[in-house]
Amino acid sequence: MSWTWFHRLASPPHIYRLAQQLTPWFAWPAAALILTALYGGLVLAPPDYQQGDGFRIIYMHAPAAWMSLMVYTTMAVAAAVALIWRMKVAHAVAASCAPIGASFTFAALVTGSLWGEPMWGTWWEWDPRLTSELILLFLYLGYMGLRGAIDDPQRADRTSAVLAVVGIVNVPIIHYSVTWWNSLHQAPSVMRLGKPQLSMPMLWPLLVMLLGFTLFFVAVLLVRLRGEILVRERSASWLREVVGT
């Protein structure tokens, strides 16, 4: 079997140009979906019978939490691929993920706190879900700190990739924390087996918001990826071609 297509696909110049061309195809649909979901969630969805209008925090909290886990998973898979196949572009993907994931993990924690105070009567509790999500933030920050502390880019790539791969154990812990242990946090209402527990007028804005944030992640990732590819690239001819002098 010929692997040339694979190498061409993973070659930095090819990925750079592809990333550039694909960005608007993710960015604009993301913006449209997020705006639609904002209108659906804030205006069209009816108030919850228990939480009133307070439940609408879900349209920010759940997507932020989804991003925190989905971005980490992407980062760990990219890091594993990079370690196994020594693929420079995969290292670049992993490095691009970290700041995005860290910022949305921060948003998930803050919005969770803002939801917890009126509903549970506390901003913070050392509860399994909350604590494991906080550890996720530290994993992202540790990954970024480790990269920043190693001067040699290739060593920084390899060492941080090991941390990213090992840290993946935290992802299922976060997801299942609410079913494995007694938690203040409610059990999953959408990401579960069987029917979602939200009614359709409440559910569709959430699903649209989740899709919008996912496309947004890809768009931001593609922009960051181009920068990370440039940093790793040593060939002058194509560098000159893409950045112009």
224 binds another protein (CB under 8 A): yes
CB 107 within 8 A of CB 64: yes
Give the residue from 131, 136, 127, 112 showing the smallest Cα distance to 184. 127
Backbone angles phi, psi at 48, to 5 degrees: -75, 145
- For residues 83 and 221, which CB has a smaller minimum distance to another protein in the complex? 221
Both tokens of 78, joined, read: 């990219």
Smallest gap from residue 153 Cβ to another protein (A): 12
49 binds another protein (CB under 8 A): no
240 binds another protein (CB under 8 A): yes
Q: Which residues contact 79 (CB under 8 A, 6 or more apart)?
A: 90, 91, 94, 160, 161, 162, 164, 165
Which residues make beta-bridge pairs with 48? 52
Smallest gap from residue 12 Cβ to another protein (A): 12
List Cα–Cα distances, 116 to 123, 129, 158, 208, 243, in angstroms.
6, 12, 39, 24, 48
125 binds another protein (CB under 8 A): no
CA-CA distance, 185 to 60, in Å (whole number)?
16
> Using CB under 8 A, which of the segments 52-60, 72-80, 144-152, 181-189 binds another protein?
52-60
Q: What is the 3-state secondary structure (H, E, C) of 21-67?
A: HHHHHHHHHHHHHHHHHHHHHHHHCCCECCCEHHHHHHHHHHHHHHH
CA-CA distance, 121 to 180, in Å (whole number)?
23
115 binds another protein (CB under 8 A): yes
> Using CB under 8 A, which of the segments 74-82, 125-133, 163-171, 221-229 binds another protein?
221-229
Q: Which of 33, 37, 45, 57 binds another protein (CB under 8 A)?
A: 57
Q: Which of 10, 106, 150, 207 binds another protein (CB under 8 A)?
A: 106
> Using CB under 8 A, which of the segments 73-81, 108-116, 169-177, 192-200 binds another protein?
108-116
- For residues 110 and 134, which CB has a smaller minimum distance to another protein in the complex? 110
Q: Which residues bind another protein (CB under 8 A)?
A: 34, 42-43, 47, 52-54, 56-57, 60-61, 63-64, 99-100, 103-104, 106-107, 110-111, 114-115, 117-118, 213, 216, 220, 223-224, 226-228, 230-231, 233-237, 239-240, 243-245
